[in-house]
Structure 1
Amino acid sequence: MRRDAFLKTLLLGGLLHALPVRSAEPPVLKLLIPANPGGGWDLTGRALGEALVSSGQAASMSYENRGGAAGAIGLAQFANAYGGDPHALMVMGAVMLGGIITGKPPVGLSKVRPIARLTNEYNVFVLPPQSPFASMREVLVAFRNDPRSIKWGGGSRGSTEHVAVHMLARALGVDARRINYVPFRGGGEAAAALMAGYLSVGGSGLSEFLPHITSKRMRAVALTSPERLPGLDVPTLREVGQDVVIGNWRGVCAPIGLTAEQRLALIERVRLALASPSWNASLAQHRWMSEPLLGEPFEAFVAAAFESMRAVLVKAGLS
């Protein structure tokens, strides 16, 4: 009997070891979005959250919007509240780099670790339906002749659309001090101001304004892309005589204080989410360009992008 019991124990143990090991349950992930609801960062963050859940990389998501100062307010909140949290992410992007360079906030990129680049998109300049201008060429003629008469609106100081306006001013010989630019904390606020007739021209990421363009509540007149985008009958700034090209990439970062294993786990979760049908559907819906870059290569990209943005801002008179 003892021998039989011993054999049964061995057999049972062998069977148990042969069974697949149940993987740990996915965690609840927290995502801080350093912008108000309705803008490009908000759309990107929530689309990523849906992809993380649908791909089984998160049990659920919690979101926190902290807009203002081109993401600097949210960055400070993330650094102070989520340090060392292996289940926390924050949306980041080109706009945040511009905000840090121009605003020089006390909390900078040294307080986060870049995890993944998600998308890239270009900006679009739009007019309200009642605009007296028929094209971007007409806007630029008026801007050159009387800069203060054109009220531009878009993201925070240092955002890619703000930089684009300064690049246009420099190309046209307009004194940067005469630019009439109104910064908003998100694309939703800028859209509302434009449609209410408060602005002459609005600028933002294409995905933020696309629903309003489609519904004809805005009229797209120029893109900051090097060439026209598929499916859109909208000229580039190059086509209207101004060699201004600037993109707006978006990604996510983690807090500092994680172990290498924790950081790699977050990178893998994001990688699997980016391969999901949910994420691919969001790319198509918002016309985002998929440009994934993970881990250390993304860290190197952010460092290089920071220096490149600094050079552009210095040339544009913003730093």
Structure 2
Amino acid sequence: MRRDTFLKSLAAMAAAGVLPAQAADVNLKMMIPANPGGGWDGTGRALGKAMQDAGAVSTVQYENKGGAAGAIGLAQFVNGSKGDPNTLMVMGAVMIGGIITGKPPVSLTAATPIARLSSEYNVFVVPAESPFKTMKDVVEAVRKDAGSVKWGGGSRGSTEHIAAAMLAREIGVDATKINYVPFRGGGEAIAAILGGNVSVGGSGYSEFQQYIESGKMRPIGVTSPTRLKLAPNVPTMKEQGFNVEIGNWRGVYGAPGITPAQRKALTDLLQKTVKSKAWAEAMEKNGWTDAWLAGTAFDEFVEREFASLRATMVKAGMI
């Protein structure tokens, strides 16, 4: 192709808006306060990729630091990124639940709230070889001997932990008797489920999807008000007679001590990202629901969420 023809082609593509976006000169650091393989890890990496594809940032450096419902990663983030406008930390309902139950020395209020991104509901699964065929089978076993059923999932205070406690209360069992085994990341939980080291596992559907589709795990209930689009054959907890409904939202925080202008810049980058094709594809692939919320509205939401989850945990007998 002649040079003048090539340049005319480029000009035409630019006018049509089909040229790749020019990446902003931002080298972003992403703290993922969980081990690889879980929901926060998937969210953080999908977000980073979408930010690059949308031209919002040029590079993304990820760091996984699991443990204590994200409190260990939170502490490292707060202590190591003060005033850094090019850092983000993935967080969500699980971190709030963990803070309520664990009362870590570093508070979430030390970091800067940026935005809520997505939400999803939990699915409970059993290994393919499990004698439990339905959630009612699990409930019968829990009623006979609560400790005989091992529930595996995220850290203590996670939404799947809360859901198990809510179920116990629903069936008249002391929630403190629930045998819950916390894991620092989705990879560990999946290994435990597949290995038969826990009786029932809980997490977002996207984390278990490949194992469900391959027949290695059997889904027995979801904590959504209606059946999931990704799993239309899996009954909700409610339709099985158990009033257990709880969602799991995820968002991001910025570093402590950034200026209002720097906070706005990060928010703008994220707003650009959530409108991108790459993020839309990640949302659809994982069955996530859009839950965008930023600014003062997000600040107020987090405050309400602390109060709401604490009340739910008290009612379920967790605290």
Partner of 1:32: 31
| Percent of paired sites with the same residue | 57
Aligned 1:123-162 pairs, distance under 5 A: 123-162=122-161
* TM-score when normalising by structure 1: 0.91
Matched, 1:190 2:189: yes
Distance 1:120 1:305 in 2: 14
Partners of 2:23 and 2:286 lie apart in 1 by 33
1:154 partner amino acid = G
The answer as to whether partners of 2:23 and 2:58 remain within 8 angstroms in 1 is no
- Provide the rounded CA distance (Å) in 2 between the counterparts of 1:57 and 1:226: 35
Q: Does 1:67 align with 2:69?
A: no
TM superposition outliers: structure 1 runs of 4+ over 6 Å:
none
1:306 & 1:115 partners in 2: Cα distance? 17
The answer as to whether partners of 1:133 and 1:139 remain within 8 angstroms in 2 is: yes
Say whether residues 1:55 and 2:54 are aligned partners.
yes
Deviation of 1:227 (Å) = 1.1
Written as runs of structure 1 = structure 2, the 5 A alignment for 1:139-288 is 139-232=138-231, 233-288=233-288
Deviation at 1:125, TM superposition (A): 0.2
Q: Secondary structure at the match of 2:239?
A: coil
Cα deviations across residues 62-89 of structure 1 (Å, max 9, x unaligned)?
0000100001001100000011100000
What is the CA distance between 1:26 and its match in structure 2?
2.1
- 1:231–1:49 CA distance, 2 compared to 1 (3 A): closer
Q: Give the alignment's TM-score, normalised by structure 2.
A: 0.91
Q: Which protein is bigger by CA-based radius of gyration?
A: 1
1:24 positional shift = 9.3
Distance in 1 separating the partners of 2:251 and 2:130 = 35
Q: How many pairs were matched up?
A: 297
Q: Provide the C-alpha distance between the structure 1 equivalents of 2:50 and 2:176, rounded to a whole number of angstroms.
A: 44
Task: Determine if contact 1:26/1:56 at 8 Å carries over to the other structure.
Answer: no
Looking at structure 2, the residues matched to 43 and 189 of structure 1 have their Cα atoms a distance apart, in angstroms, of 14
Question: Where does the alignment leave 5 or more consecutive residues of structure 1 unmatched?
Answer: 1-22
Q: Once superposed, what is the RMSD of the aligned Cα atoms?
A: 1.2
CA distance in 2, matches of 1:33, 1:104: 20
What residue in structure 1 maps to residue 109 of structure 2? 110
Q: 1:318 — aligned with what?
A: 318
Q: Distance in 2 between matches of 1:178 and 1:142?
A: 13
Q: Distance in 2 between matches of 1:295 and 1:63?
A: 25
What letter corresponds to residue 167 of structure 1 in structure 2?
M
Paired position in structure 1 for 2:296: 296
SS in 2 for 1:62: strand
- Equivalent-residue separation in structure 1 for 2:293 and 2:312 (angstroms): 23
Change beyond 3 A, Cα 1:79–1:238: same
Partners in 2 of 1:55 and 1:134 — Cα distance?
A: 44
Counterpart-to-counterpart distance in 2, 1:300 and 1:177: 31
**Inter-partner Cα distance in structure 2 for 1:127 and 1:197:** 9
SS in 1 for 2:97: helix
- How many Å apart are 1:25 and its aligned residue? 4.3
| Correspondence for 1:3 | none
SS at match of 1:90: strand
CA deviation after TM superposition for structure 1 residue 177, in Å: 2.9
Cα gap change, 1:174 to 1:44, in 2 (>3 Å): same
SS at match of 1:282: helix
Residues 1:24 and 1:291: Cα distance change in structure 2 (over 3 Å): closer
Structure 2 gaps of 5+ residues are 1-21
Q: Is the 8 A contact 1:113 1:299 kept in 2?
A: no
Write out per-residue CA displacement over residues 145-168 of structure 1, whole angstroms, 9 at most, x where no aligned residue. 211111111110000000001111
The separation in 2 between residues aligned to 1:92 and 1:262, in whole angstroms, is 19
Matching residue's letter, 1:122: Y
Contact 2:33 2:67 in 1 (8 A): yes
Aligned-partner residue type, residue 195 of structure 1: L
Please state whether the residue corresponding to 1:126 is helix, strand or coil. Answer: strand
- Cα deviation for residue 209 of structure 1 reads 1.0
Q: Structure 2 CA distance, aligned partners of 1:146 and 1:204?
A: 24
Q: Does residue 104 of structure 2 align to residue 120 of structure 1?
A: no
Give 2:260's aligned amino acid: A
Alpha-carbon distance in structure 2 between the residues aligned to 1:151 and 1:272: 43
Q: Is the 8 A contact 1:69 1:156 kept in 2?
A: yes
